A and B are shown apart, each in its own frame.
Chain A
Amino acid sequence: MPDLKLLYEAVVNGDAKASLAITQQALAEGVDPLILVNEHMVPAMDEVGRRFEANEFFVPELLIAARAMKASLEVIRPLLIARGDKPAGRVAIGTVKGDLHDIGKNLVASLLEGGGFEVIDLGVNVTPEKFIETVNLKQANIIAMSALLTTTMPAMKSTIEALKSAGVRDRVKVLIGGAPITQKYADEIGADGYSENAVGAVALAKKAVAT
């Protein structure tokens, strides 16, 4: 039985090889995969988020921690799906149409995944139709949109309107973020939530699925 504290440390330190090796060994010895996620990896990503918020970690540290977590999740997720375990929520995330900036979106996606959500990353320059398709085909219950530019943020409004026209607005919570976004703008366009940072986005998503 491996020391599972080492899994926590491997994720926090961004050591993907160690994270994967400990996960594989633990699974081979019969440890419940959900225990690995909930008791070790989620707390590890919480700690990464805390350090990021406290300016102890920066983007490189956060990205390698996320990479370590993903290495383990890749072997864990099929086991959870096979036995019918449900994620905390299913998030379709993307940078809106016309905008190719993705570093902030990627940080949010990683922390959401670390928070126990299934994340469907639609990438950049995502059309409203693509978001709608993901709600319909993959049953996403949260849509998370990012925009870096004041000139692309109107695409958030048009996406929300498209969700209404397609009749799926009531099936999803819409969360938005990005440098030019404010709570006032979120209220104006009828989004369900806004966070000014990546750590806050996880709390927001948890709140959104709880209501």
Chain B
Amino acid sequence: MNSRERVLAHLAGKPVDRLPLMPITMMFACQQIGARYRDYCTDYRVLVEAQIRVAETFGFDYVNTMSDPAREAADCGAPVEFFDHQPVALVEDRALLADKSTLARLKIPDPLGGGRMHNGIQAISLFKERVGSEKLVEGWIEGPIAEGADLRGINTLMTDFFDDPAFVKDLFAFVIELELRFAREQIRAGADLIGMGDAAASLVGPHFYEEFVWPYEKQLVDGIHAMGGRVRLHICGNTRRILKGMGSLGCAVVDLDSLAPLHEARQQAAPGQILLGNMNPVTVLRNGTPDLVTAAAAQCHREAGPRFIVGAGCEVPRDTPPENLRALCEYAHQHAP
């Protein structure tokens, strides 16, 4: 059973030889090949090289195209700032939709139009060519509130929920169309799984999540399913109050950050939901010891039960000691679900 077969079997509820291993690495992966992170974000060949290197070195079961949250927004025309050694970031004080009326004129960019989205799709094609039969290939899109925040400015969007709820719904409807087009091209290029990051969802409470966010996340997940795709949902931050909603979207994988207890997610999610995570990536994985990491992985596994994939709560930090990451990986390599 190779890595790709293992993950796909686990997702399908079939027997597997050991726990699948799918930690998020971006800057850590880039560091493995000594490249600049700017190049990792802007040149798919660098990203692919780094992802394959880290996956092979540590025995990950997958590779992914995630690099920063700004691919779609940049192609829409949002001002972004590039750094040599950090992720591309949105420039909020010049947000594309600072003036709400701009939304009515905003066109959805062509994902194959030579921009940053296209670069991500090219990464998937190259992954498929180089390791597609061996490793699971994961693409990436932003969720409704994350992308809405990228386009509108996160601080402004937070007050829009009170000031102009109709605009928020129009904005999210635009985002769904944008992300479905992006996801479709990623699936066509060969993505086995679409990662969906909806970080800002953890900033709003259950009331706004249920009224504004969940219905659009559901549209996105259903749309990807209709294309024959599968979804891994990741929401950074404290999602404790929205676990039930996250666990009822029908995602193949719900990937939890460290602030949300896995045992609570297990109680609240739909039966059989695969959970991924969620040790603290800084205090345990980066600052801890291999023994601490092993103990934390075992604790996560106990709380999640057999429908579990090994990973950290969020991205593996760039300067994580390799022996700590190796301890996380060995837990997966040595344990059955």
Binding site for B on A (CB under 8 A): 14, 55, 57-61, 63-64, 67, 98-103, 106, 123-124, 149-152, 179-180, 182, 184
Contacts and interface: CB of A to CB of B under 8 A. Distances in A.
Contacts of B287: 182, 184
Nearest to B80: A100
A100 B241 CA distance: 27
Contacts of B184: none
26 contacts: A14-B162, A55-B241, A58-B203, A58-B208, A60-B204, A60-B205, A60-B208, A63-B155, A63-B159, A98-B83, A98-B86, A100-B90, A100-B92, A102-B92, A103-B155, A103-B203, A124-B92, A149-B86, A150-B282, A150-B286, A150-B318, A151-B27, A152-B86, A179-B282, A180-B282, A182-B283
B319 interface: yes
Interface centre among A58, A103, A180, A184 (most CB of B within 10 A): A58
Q: Would you list the 3 A-B pairs with minimal beta carbon distance, nearest first?
A: A58-B205, A59-B203, A100-B89
B299 to A, nearest CB: 20
A106 B92 CA distance: 13
Nearest to B315: A150
A152 B240 CA distance: 27
A139 to B, nearest CB: 26
A106 B155 contact: yes
Given A63-B159, A67-B159, A101-B89, 10 more contacts: A55-B240, A58-B203, A58-B204, A63-B155, A98-B83, A103-B158, A123-B93, A150-B319, A152-B86, A182-B282
A149 B203 CA distance: 17
Given A100-B89, A100-B91, A150-B282, A180 B155 contact: no
A98 B85 CA distance: 10
A64 B91 contact: no
Contacts of A180: 282, 317
Contacts of A61: 205
A106 B282 CA distance: 23
Contact of A59 (B27, B91, B92, B204): B204
B81 interface: yes
Interface string B147-163: 00000001100110110
A124 B83 CA distance: 14
A47 B90 CA distance: 33
A70 to B, nearest CB: 12
Contacts of B86: 98-99, 149, 151-152
Contact of B154 (A64, A99, A103, A179): A103
Contacts of B81: 100
A60 B145 CA distance: 13
A106 B83 CA distance: 23
A60 B161 contact: yes
Nearest to B317: A150
Nearest to A14: B162
Contacts of B158: 59-60, 63, 103
Contacts of B87: 149
A15 to B, nearest CB: 10
Nearest to A62: B158
B179 to A, nearest CB: 22
Interface centre among A55, A61, A150, A184 (most CB of B within 10 A): A150
